[in-house]
Amino acid sequence: MAEQLNPTARVNRVVPGSAQATIARLGAGTFGPGAQVMADYLFDTVTLATGMQSLDFFSVPLGGAKTVADTNLSLPGQLPRGQAFEVHYVNCRLLRGSVVASTAAQAAFADLLAGSFWRHFFPGSDFWLRHSGAEFLPRTSLSYEIAAGDISSNFVFVNELGVSIKEIPQVIGEQVSFGLNVAVPAGVAAALNGAKLQVSYRTNLVKRT
């Protein structure tokens, strides 16, 4: 699995089938028959620091403090004219290069999610899309082993988790403000000081051709 999303390397996949229905939902008729529907994603990254109790995503675009490794947003909290997005999945992950993969880091990540509260600001959908970060956590406990005579832990570091909202997809219209605020309990971020938390929205991007 790639350690970070790279918008310059990805290949957009044109979505077959119900493309016109998707265009109609996202553009309210403004995109026209020449528009394309592609499988894509929007992503943004925040660096955790001791004392943080609120994380804001999709508010700072490319440029300055944000590079193509951190976000693919070209405008603060908006899509450019001629684009709209339909969110089917919400994913979050710790970038492995920013944290030592250990049971302590895994537990801190789980604690951060379990104690967090997510508010997605989509036009007309803010009330529905409020949920606990615990929704991302696996429903079964994770186990690991320490090999006999070896102090190294043998386990899978679960650094990417997600939830599906495909049954009630959320729409980000062109040049309409959107964003995400994640509230975390005091003290939790300290255990992951310096780690990078990345959030991505996936699936359907509509572009006017």
Six-digit token string for 22? 């998707």
Count of the separate structural domains present in the chain: 1
Residue 37 lies in a domain: yes
3-state secondary structure of 1: coil
79-120 pLDDT, tens digit per residue, is 988 888 889 999 998 887 888 777 788 888 888 998 999 999
Specify if 23 maps to a domain.
Answer: no
For residue range 166-183, list pLDDT tens digits in order: 877 888 888 888 999 999
Q: Could you list the pLDDT tens digit for every one of the 209 residues in the chain? A: 334 444 443 434 444 445 566 666 665 555 666 678 888 999 999 999 999 999 999 999 998 789 999 999 999 999 988 888 889 999 998 887 888 777 788 888 888 998 999 999 987 655 457 888 988 887 655 444 444 444 444 445 666 788 888 877 888 888 888 999 999 987 888 889 999 999 999 988 888 76
Residues 6+ apart with CB under 8 A from 50: 189, 190, 193
Whether 25 contacts 173, CB under 8 Å? no
- Residue 44 falls within a domain, yes or no? yes
Kind of pairing between the strands at 83-94 and 160-164 = antiparallel
Q: For residue 179, give the nearest of 64, 44, 88, 82 by alpha carbon.
A: 44
* Alpha carbons within 13 A on the beta-carbon side of 31: 27
Q: Is residue 15 part of a domain?
A: no
Parent domain of 75: 33-138+168-207
